[in-house]
Amino acid sequence: MPDTKKFIENLSGAGKCIGVLTSGGDAQGMNAAVRAVVRMGIYVGAKVYFIHEGYQGMVDGGDNIKEASWESVSSMLQVGGTVIGSARCKDFRTHEGRLHAALNLVQRGITNLCVIGGDGSLTGANLFREEWSGLLDELVQSGEISEEASQIHSALHIVGMVGSIDNDFCGTDMTIGTDSALHRIIEVVDAIMTTAQSHQRTFVLEVMGRHCGYLALVSALACGADWVLIPEMPPKDGWEEQMCYKLSESRLRGSRLNIIIVAEGATDRHGNPISSNAVKELVVRCLGFDTRVTILGHVQRGGTPSAFDRILASRMGVEAVLALLEASPGTPACVVSLCGNQAVRVPLMECVQMTQEVQKAMDEKRFEEAVRLRGRSFENNLNTYKLLSHRKIDSELPHSSFNVAVLNVGAPAAGMNAAVRSAVRVGITEGHTMFAVSDGFEGFYKGQIKEIKWGDVGGWTGQGGSLLGTKRTLPAKHIDKIAEQMRIHNINALLVIGGFEAYLGLMELQAARSKHAELCVPMVMVPATVSNNIPGSDLSIGADTALNAITDTCDRIKQSASGTKRRVFIIETMGGYCGYLATVGGLAAGADAAYIYEEPFDIRELQSNVEHLTEKMKTSIQRGLVLRNENCSENYTTDFIYQLYNEEGKGVFDCRKNVLGHMQQGGAPSPFDRNFGTKIAAKAMQWISKKLKEFYREGRVFANTEDSACLLGMRRRALVFQPVVQLKDETDFVHRIPKEQWWLRLRPLMKILAKYKTSYDVSDSGQLEHIVRLRAKDISAI
């Protein structure tokens, strides 16, 4: 079979000119995308031009279109908004304006455009592409360009990246800026909760989203809001009484606050707007609660981009340049996007049409259809929110007579509590009696097991650490006592939320089934560890929060040297032997190097890194950043690397070192971890319910098959249940890491963006995928 691998070395941008612009509303992460396009473009030998002020700059020309250099995008990764400016442009909507724009591009030889913006900006770019040959003919006839120039520049290639905080573009899982906007909303909600609790208040929060309720829905899911109003799914008639009943019921159960989230475009079933003030007046009139309104407004657009947005934008920027290099005259305009965990390319106009269909469905009051068209992620968020927020009356609940225990195992990870809350509430909704085990397997064998009710997990989503308590103890030594506790409490299923110890623990429990019939019950593990080192899952709960802690700290550390002499920082990250935090944190923070166990290095490589930094410091760049995973090498310790850099950099730069330590494990969970924990635990509980029915025979549950002890992990595009026995071969047990790790493919990306020549396998990057096929295939994903 021929080797079909494609490498970046074989793709040349020599003689090509790429223009990059940001258009429409700004979004955090746009600068990271611009930086990636500029650096990747220069790396492959192309010329890259900034087009300032969006389409307006393209129409006006002159100094608005400037060639970019490597250094010109330094230090912009952590800046919010867009450094090259963005403007809404009326001129580009006219034929005359587009004619001017075409002339300005041809004069500079630009026939490749990378447009970062919303659906309006991308639709405009596609129209421009369709008109291109006609515009060139006009310019030839008017004598403004020669026939030869028209021939050379005969095709315009366009690649789009969606920058929009609303996440309102179909065909993409996440648009650039959405995660950062959620960070802003959740920061506000967390702050408001403390004051609301003090005064027993109700808060109505209005968030952005004129036509799309994604921000409102996900922030409601991430903070456990009592009620949410979104344009895609207006509330049914009579919602006012229903909402007030829900609020008063939660107060009766002992809650001291209520949170209601309203998208700015929320309406009722008849198209009448529902404003945040109207909601406030309703609560005051019906319940007499002390109620306040907070309108977040442009706060949501501001601030520094989150780690997720920086990585997303950097990956998309590199992918966009690859798409432009591979484009032929017949290639349709495409959008580069992320689907699950994989970069994909989708035809721009298919996405635009689907986005317009959502609006049409909403206008025609086909709300179920609108939600379906928004895509799998949106639909799942809505279903999970409904499942968790509306408690059924006991008489409405199915009664299963099954007991399900939930426990945390291993080190604490932010988002564990969101997962426990979700599991408990879904379990109760499915009719089970839920039990909480304190302090992992240690608490299990000591009998620290008690029933946990719906109200007990209220307000857990935003709490860091593990409220149940967690220990690293493994069950093997105490298996008899654990089996005894399973019998005493009649536990019919187990949900284990934790890290590598949870994975080993599940294997030990399964191995002991032959001796203990009590362990023959469905068991499922949900990965939660900052190290992200669990086989069978691309991501773990807690890793995103840790990445944000690393990125924020790196930003501050870099800033501490601004205005002083040239300085290099050596930063040690956690992760055991797994280099995920060092590598992906390095990509998000703009590191020059990241040393990890998975990619062995020697003194020659350290030497070449120092030389590389020395050369870099001779330009206008003043700061260097080097990350080191805590266990990357026995002998090349953080102190050793620090001393080496210090000695070799004498006279050019000085060095400082920082060990980040446990701050990576603490803090409030990020919106992503709250959401991921909530959804993955809900799916795990639904699996448990299905397996309990399947294995219930003659009055008892007996599950002894391989597929009744599973790990639920995210694999590329979907959440998959995998028997733990089958994951043994994928595991390096000595170093507690999977044998194959997807994120190692991101390492060349970090090196390229730090100006290293490297080999980069681009075979994985995108064939054009059609949006409809994409939906059908991924229907089972999160």
Q: Which residue has the tokens 């291109």?
A: 132
CB 596 within 8 A of CB 583: yes
Catalytic residue (choose from 26, 60, 119, 166): 166
Of 632, 529, 531, give the one whose Cα is nearest residue 585. 531
Q: Which residue has the tokens 């969101």?
A: 418
Dist CA 315 CA 32 (whole Å) = 9
Q: Which residue has the tokens 């030389």?
A: 611
Question: In the structure encoding, which two tokens stand for residue 701, read together?
Answer: 């549950």
Report the run of H or E that residue 701 belongs to, with start and end. Answer: strand 700-701
Q: Are strands 449-451 and 654-659 parallel, antiparallel or unpaired?
A: unpaired
CB 206 within 8 A of CB 264: yes
Amino acid identity, position 544: D
* C-alpha separations of 695 from 405, 489, 507 in Å: 17, 19, 20
Amino acid identity, position 601: F
Query: Which residues 6+ apart lie within 8 Å of 560 measured at CB?
Result: none
Dist CA 168 CA 121 (whole Å) = 13
In the chain, count H helices and then E strands: 24, 27
CB atoms within 10 A of CB 634: 7
Dist CA 394 CA 340 (whole Å) = 37
Dist CA 61 CA 695 (whole Å) = 70
Query: Which residues 6+ apart lie within 8 Å of 190 measured at CB?
Result: 223, 462, 668
Any catalytic annotation for residue 166?
yes
Q: What DSSP string describes 45-91?
A: T-EEEEETTHHHHHHH-GGGEEE--SGGGTT-TT--S-TT-----SG
Alpha carbon 627 to its chain's center = 22
Q: What DSSP string describes 63-76?
A: GGEEE--SGGGTT-
Q: Which residue has the tokens 């946990």?
A: 452
Q: What DSSP string describes 515-564?
A: T-GGG-S-EEEEEB-TT---TT-S--BTHHHHHHHHHHHHHHHHHHTTTS
CB atoms within 10 A of CB 566: 18
User: Coil, helix or strand for 456?
Assistant: helix
CB 213 within 8 A of CB 230: yes
Q: Which residue has the tokens 């002499």?
A: 565
Q: What DSSP string describes 302-341?
A: -SPPPHHHHHHHHHHHHHHHHHHHH--TTPPPEEEEEETT
CB 714 within 8 A of CB 538: yes
Of 363, 36, 377, give the one whose Cα is nearest residue 231. 363
Catalytic annotation, residues: 166
